Amino acid sequence: TIRGVLNQLQFALKDGRVFSCTFRNALDADIALRKIEEPIAPFAFSYFEALAEAGSNVHRPVRQAIFDPVEEFNRMGISQDADGQWSCSWRIDTILNSDFSFCRSYPQVLCVPTAADTEVL
């Protein structure tokens, strides 16, 4: 929260800290408070809107993935042999989070303990 007292602004943060800014006079404090209260339009959003209005298409095309996560796990020694046995105590799971329903911030391909059944996870 922000609170103005004469020529001072006090900022109370979520973690309990309080910061104070002292200005030369109440008018300067009021101007600063009004600037803080106004939402800021980030450059990227205003730039994107300007491009959309102009009909420009300067965006890069969507690229394919830079690397294959399964190949990367295999490179690190996490792979299956011909019998379907995993080479170590970890396995690659491509189903659990394929649609990000398990965890939105996790990648689609996960490396999980072999003892952990997908249904258990």
Q: What is the mean pLDDT of residues 39-48?
A: 71
- In the chain, the N- to C-terminal Cα span, in Å, equals 41
Q: How many helices, marked H, and strands, marked E, lie in the chain?
A: 3, 5
The predicted pLDDT at position 3 comes to: 62
Backbone angles phi, psi at 34, to 5 degrees: -65, -40
Say which residue, 5 or 78, is predicted with more confidence: 78
pLDDT in tens, 44-79: 777 777 777 776 566 555 666 677 888 888 888 888
pTM above 0.85, yes or no: no
Structure tokens at 50: 């300007």
